[in-house]
Amino acid sequence: MYGLKQAAILAFENLKKNLAPHGYEPIPHTDGMWQHKTKATKFCLCVDDFGVKYYNEADVDHLITALEERYKISTDRTGKHFCGLTLDWHYDEDYVDVSMPDYISTLLLKYLHALPKKPQFSPFPVKPYVPLKRGQRQYAPTPDEGTLLNPTETTRIQQIVGSFLYYGRAIDYTILPAFNTIAQSQAKPTATAKTAINTLLGYCATYPRVKLRFHASDMVLSIDSDAAYLVAPGATSRVAGYFQLNSAQRSNYHVNAAILFECKTLRHVVASSVEAETAGLFYNAQRDVLIRYMLSQLGHPQLPTPVKTDNETANNFIHNNITQKRSKSWDMRYYWLRNQHNQNNFDFYWDKSKNNHGGYWTKHLPAIYHRFIRATYVLDEKT
């Protein structure tokens, strides 16, 4: 029944009842992960797509037989497609490329966006940078109070945001800061939001075929955390987190594609850049807890998660190396970080800003910087 809001839970309970006699059950405290009680088979269910991890043909045949008793299914033994993603496996070279071919070209045609006459190398219109002078205060951007767009243009912007958001989260996450800003005004967009959307579409048209490359590793989760103070309207700050699977030895790290990227605006107003950085560590570490558990359930036990920050004060707070004054708002949230560090669940450490891969997503940057750094995170196929 189209539009039935109970459909998801009804389908889940039905699948749970049908697979229980065959030994399959959901893994507690996870989103969509299942396991067999005695076999090594694990699978992730997203809507109606099963991503299955198995160790022999007999085990996967057992799952297929169990599903075919009640459902009509199709199978892909090569693992080529999952949730709209195309996976190009290179087992001999120890990497896999993940992409969504033709997704951007289809959307550009759908929204009748003409190709730009010249390449658009930045996903968001950026004003020339003016450095602060010594002693000058930093002020948050003022809210856009321009003329509101008509309902048709408003609906178009909301549709574009909805269509491109999955692509940004799954493939080209260089567009996430632009979406973060545009989404804040999509309920009541103005001409400024329209300009930002057109810039974003031009950027996607310039890079229509993007892929992520995941290299084989020790499957140890690591996080690069960063924040930008007072960069959003309402005196709010933006935090970012780069989650990747990497080597167990920190000295052997290389930049792997992110399995998750966080780019969000803090809902509460922080009093300083240090508190913004600590807030970023807090939200990224909380996000990490579930991922650590899921990885361990998939057979990849985790060491204390390395969490990188480029703020020495935030790092010293977690390691209990400073005396806290006039920061009582921290008591409500951020002592959890110190507690988790003491329990050896996380390994917080400081590194230079140039080595922090979270900083790229905390602010809007000029086109020249995007062109310089983009190849570090995503690969662009020639069209």
DSSP track, 71-107: ------TT--EETTEEEEEEGGGTEEEEE-TTHHHHH
The domain boundary residue, chosen from 29, 49, 75? 75
Is the CB of residue 172 less than 8 Å from the CB of residue 207? yes
> Is 280 contained in some domain?
yes
Q: Read off the pLDDT of residues 110-149 as tens digits, 9 standing for 90 and up.
A: 988 888 788 889 898 877 655 666 666 666 666 666 778 8
Q: How many domains does the chain have?
A: 2
> Is 153 contained in some domain?
no
> Is 2 contained in some domain?
no
The domain boundary residue, chosen from 17, 49, 75? 75
Q: Looking at residue 316, which CATH number applies to its domain?
A: 3.30.420.10
Sorted by sequence, the CB contacts under 8 Å of residue 69 that are 6+ apart come out as: 18
Q: pLDDT value at position 380?
A: 87
> Is 209 contained in some domain?
no
pLDDT band for position 47 (cuts 50, 70, 90)? confident
Rounded to whole angstroms, the Cα distance separating 192 from 375 reads: 29
> Is 203 contained in some domain?
no
Is the CB of residue 2 less than 8 Å from the CB of residue 272? no
Q: Read off the pLDDT of residues 281-340 as tens digits, 9 standing for 90 and up.
A: 999 999 999 999 999 999 999 989 999 999 999 999 899 888 776 666 676 678 889 889
Domain that holds residue 23: 7-75
Q: Read off the pLDDT of residues 187-240 as tens digits, 9 standing for 90 and up.
A: 888 888 888 899 999 999 999 999 999 999 899 999 999 999 988 877 889 999
Rounded to whole angstroms, the Cα distance separating 38 from 87 reads: 29
Q: pLDDT value at position 138?
A: 64
The domain boundary residue, chosen from 47, 75, 103? 75
Rounded to whole angstroms, the Cα distance separating 212 from 220 reads: 18
Which one has a higher pLDDT value, 290 or 31? 290
> Is 336 contained in some domain?
yes
Give pTM, 2 decimals: 0.88
Q: Which amino acid is at 119?
A: P
pLDDT band for position 26 (cuts 50, 70, 90)? very high
On the question of pLDDT at 154 being above 60, the answer is yes
Is the CB of residue 280 less than 8 Å from the CB of residue 313? no
> Is 145 contained in some domain?
no
Is the CB of residue 259 less than 8 Å from the CB of residue 244? yes
On the question of pLDDT at 262 being above 80, the answer is yes
> Is 21 contained in some domain?
yes
Q: Hey, which bits of 188-259 come out as E strands?
A: 210-215, 220-232, 236-246
Rounded to whole angstroms, the Cα distance separating 240 from 122 reads: 19
Q: Read off the pLDDT of residues 55-97 as tens digits, 9 standing for 90 and up.
A: 999 999 999 999 999 999 999 988 899 988 999 999 999 999 9
Rounded to whole angstroms, the Cα distance separating 363 from 263 reads: 10
Which one has a higher pLDDT value, 233 or 177? 177
